[in-house]
Amino acid sequence: MKKISKKVKTLIFSSSGLVILAAVLLLLKLTADEESTRDDIISEPELPHIHFTELDAEEVRIISVKNEFDEYMIAWGLSDRFMVSGLLNAPLNESRLHTAARYVSGFWVRDIVEENAENLEQYGLGDTAVQVSAVFKNDETINIYIGDKTPTAENMAFVRVGDDNNVYIVWSYMVDMFRESSLQFVSLDITGDYYSVGSPQIEKLTVERLGTERYVIELNPDVFTEEIVFNPHIFVEPAYAFGLEVDATRGQSVMHGLFGLTASSVAYVGEGLPRNLPEDSGFDGIFDEPVAYVEMIIDGVTYTLLVGERAVMQNENAEDILLGYYAFFSEQPDVLYVIPPEMLTWLNFDVESIMAVMFIRPYIYTVSDFIIETPSRVLNFRFAGDSRDNEVYYLDGEPVDTSAFKDLYIYAISVSATGLWSEEPKEFEVEPLLARYTFKYRDRSKPDTTLEFYDAGNMTGVVVLDGRPLFTVSLMYLNRLEQNIEAYLKGEPIINSW
């Protein structure tokens, strides 16, 4: 079992020791402005330096590490890749393992500080030193002891090599990773990016959050027909949102949230998670009241993500700093992750934030009749013709200008919701009726679609879709509708904004 230790250790140098070390480092002309960087962008310092091993990373057979947090082994396995003790079933970060092997197989130091030092403790090289030993395929070995950072330069550290008591200084980037637990070698990439894994079909998404309602989103049945579908998913739950489309753009972070999922750290590795978290792990009970449960069916396969308690650390003012949430993913059953809140898009969304605001867009070539009713007039448009190249539109039996009618039609279906009318149905003033649209379809098996607009006050209209009060709209849209009908009848241009 591997876990993060909560032990914090403070090493205190005596003031005289610090002065002596600072003087030694000054004589060696070491400067504090040599900044250490990550291993993937480091440029090797100029000579002089002292080499202890000069092999390739692939020549490493075993690396053993013992530090204040952990004791583990890295071994070259039969599958031609590194394995880590206690992490046999966890997904590993191959790049980081290769870096560890590279540092021990090509280990060198910057310079010697003290030969045959009698007081190793002042360098952190006594009993508290980090111990690293490596065995290579040619049977060579190396033992490295890692001490404290130098007092004048955080990018340097004290080490000794082998059985003698010579104290050297080394660039910190070469040894710092051995101060950490083996959990650093677990990959933080939980799932692949949506497009890199072939844009699979998301059949169903279920989200349950602590203290809030349940959300269920499924494929829009129209995707299995010849209809043009702008938004492939619809709400099934909650009931008040049944049938509403999920906007393909606004809802993408929710619908694609299980893809490209990355953790900030790994908290624990063990078998049978999350139910078998031992009491002494420090994480027992973090899923007793899950913050969220996410279930997604993708190409017939069900995946789940369980989000537990907040993972926090305290700053110097004893204030909690949110690191993320403890989480368990079904495809990595042995790993307890900490996932940053920005990755957990399901924690804060609601119906209104991801629903399609363009809620009615019948494709004109599927419509046989379009009827507009206002308090002052009724316009009954009818489509004739069997193709786009043979289209004729009639108003009350008389042919009309095709281009002008299409402009009016485009304005009509451009209506967009400013919000949901209510999460629960409410009474509203139904008189007077401001406008009604009726769409009849060439496919007579498809029921008519009816939109009714009523005044709710405060420059807000209520949209009743097929008898359901669903959306709010701006009355400015309806005012412009009256103006555009008048313009159409007079042969004037249609204005498609309001």
Count of CB atoms situated within 10 Å of the CB of 116: 8
What length is written for the chain?
498
* Distance set, CA 393 to CA 227, 372, 463 (Å): 21, 14, 27
pTM > 0.85: no
Cα-flanking dihedrals φ and ψ of residue 150, to 5°? -70, 145
**Which residues fall within 8 angstroms of residue 414, CB to CB, at 6 or more apart?**
358, 496
pLDDT of residue 441: 93
Can you give the C-alpha Rg of the chain in angstroms? 34
pLDDT at 435: 95
Instruction: Say which DSSP state 494 is in.
Output: P
Share of the chain residues as helix, strand and coil, in percent rounded to the nearest 5: 20, 35, 45
Which residues on adjacent β-strands are paired with residue 144? 132, 161
State the CB neighbour count (10 A cutoff) for residue 382: 17
How far is 64 from 181, CA to CA, in rounded Å?
A: 12
Under 8 Å CB-to-CB from 423, ≥6 apart: which residues?
238, 240, 351
Q: Tell me the average pLDDT of the chain.
A: 86
Order of strands, edge to edge, in the sheet holding 153-161?
82-84, 71-76, 60-66, 130-136, 141-150, 153-161, 167-171, 111-114
CA distance 408 to 414: 10
* Predicted local distance difference test score (pLDDT) of residue 389: 63
- Output the pLDDT for position 226: 65
| CA–CA dist 248, 440 (Å, integer) | 26
Question: What is the spatial distance between Cα 396 and Cα 229, in angstroms, rounded to a whole number?
Answer: 30
Does the CA dihedral 421-424-428-430 come out positive or negative? Answer: positive
Residues of the chain scoring pLDDT < 50:
3-45, 47
d(CA 179, CA 71): 10
3-class SS of residue 489: helix
**CB of 162 closer than 8 Å to CB of 109:** no
Domain ranges in the chain are 2-185, 202-354, 364-489
**Closest by CA position to 289, among listed 308, 275, 270:** 308
Predicted pLDDT of residue 31: 40
Q: Decide: helix, strand or coil at residue 23.
A: helix
Which pLDDT score is estimated for 392?
83
Hey, what amino acid is at 311?
A: A
Helix segments in 315-463, DSSP class H: 351-354, 402-413
The SS3 assignment for 194 reads: coil
Spatial distance between the Cα atoms of 460 and 478, rounded to a whole number of angstroms: 10
